[in-house]
Chains A and B, each alone.
Chain A
């Protein structure tokens, strides 16, 4: 079987499904405003968050592995009259000329570090790019009981949203295979563009993998990467992390 492309090989299809996701934007904007210094977004993709921050006057740079995502980000920026500073880089080993008050890894971007060595390399690289006293902020889903117990192999409708031009439905399906002891999810992502009659007019198929991380595991990773202080919240509304249905919004500070 030939491997399918990654969803990050096609910025346009990615945006059809995910560009209008907005629930996390107020959180990141507030974090960026409180940073009182430059911000770096790692895994900035097509700029869903980064362009929102830039348009709000934040001094933000971006790094992403996938040139197709960055090209799309640049094109969208031009259309909005914005001038982003983004560069291609691997989250495990990137270099930017500046140091930052905050480094953000939003929207499960950290899940693309698929093993402990990659996770550590990424955290160490983020630590290096922080100013003294700066903080790394990571948003990750928590792999709770209900997540693992949902063993449906069937396609799950993740998102249904109107096409930005035609208004016809766009649907994103996820067929998941899970490895509990490996803390991995393998996803077959299918993005369907429907026509006026409800028939699938275009189909985009991708594969991706995500590695989940547990709370104390993440704290040990922070410790091993050189952070000595951290705090974990349970969602974009800043509630405490208390239930396994919460997200993990983690802050790790570099010593001042």
Chain B
């Protein structure tokens, strides 16, 4: 049995991620300050890209999933914006332009499942940056407590109202961890309620590969980046705890 990707139903994707907003000011501010063209990898339905576009940034987007890009384009049209977004693989993409800033928001870097894939993507990004251009992305730091508590336990991950109907949409995740392989397999059930209760369930699945701090620094150095800064959050506080989000800035060497 093949498990559906979480990106085949963009409308449902947008419903369950409606509360993820804390990264938007960070990426939009960076894009504004870049004073040049910006590329967002894994732009999806435009959760971050559209606010940047609205802020007047010359931003383009890339995503592997055509359905997500279609959703982004129609949202852009509804807001009177023109989105320049393209289908492409962050491990191997070719764009005609070069960028001051390339971003990978919302942990999309973790879809790269091996060191080879990570290096391919980073080298491809490096080749698309102007000299001394910046790469910015965020990934979670793997917390020992979270992994231990989560292992193969079905847990309620998200519980939000549907923006149109107001009915509950509930996400249950079961995470399987392979700690030495730094691999997570997520089995996700998305349950949409109606007046009477649970009405429709959608099952999706995905795999992530986490990275540690010094590993990430080595990946960036190996791929041709320097001046690497790894913060512990979007407010640029120091990385101190293993529950922090790693917010990464690196410069093309």
> Which residues in A have some Cβ–Cβ distance to B below 8 Å?
116, 142, 144-145, 148-149, 180-181, 183, 213-217, 219-221, 223-224, 241-244, 246
- Rounded to whole angstroms, the CA-CA distance of A23 and B250 in the bound complex is 44
Contacts of B33 in A (CB 8 A): none
A224, B212: Cβ atoms closer than 8 Å: no
Q: Contact between B115 and A216 (Cβ–Cβ < 8 Å)? A: yes
Bound form: Cα–Cα A135–B137 in Å: 37
| Contact (Cβ within 8 A) A241 B180 | yes
Please count the residue pairs between chain A and chain B whose beta carbons lie under 8 angstroms apart in the complex. 61
The answer to whether A217 touches B215, judged by C-beta atoms less than 8 angstroms apart, is: yes
Are A183 and B180 touching (Cβ within 8 A)? no
- CB pair A246–B180 under 8 Å, yes or no, is yes
**8 Å CB contact of A217 from B141, B147, B214, B244:** B214
Size band of the B side of the interface? 20 to 34
* Closest chain B residue, CB of each to CB of A244: B179
- Does A149 contact B145, Cβ atoms closer than 8 Å? yes
Docked-complex contact A214 and B242, CB < 8 angstroms: no
Query: Which residues of B sit under 8 angstroms from A242, Cβ to Cβ?
Result: 180
- Say yes or no: A214-B215 contact (C-beta < 8 A), given A145-B179, A242-B180, A244-B179: yes
In the bound complex, CA of A223 to CA of B119 (Å):
12
CB pair A183 B214 closer than 8 Å: yes
B217 close to chain A: CB less than 8 A: yes
**A215 and B214 in contact (CB under 8 A), knowing A181-B141, A220-B219, A220-B222?**
no
* Complex partner residue of B239 from A181, A220, A224, A243, CB under 8 angstroms: A181
Q: Given known contacts A181-B242, A224-B218, is B212 in contact with A217 (CB within 8 Å)?
A: yes
Question: A148-B144, A181-B141 are contacts. A116–B180 as well, Cβ < 8 Å?
Answer: no
Q: Are B217 and A244 closer than 8 Å at their CB atoms?
A: no
A60 to B144, CA, bound (A): 40
In whole Å, how far is B25's beta carbon from the nearest beta carbon of chain A?
24
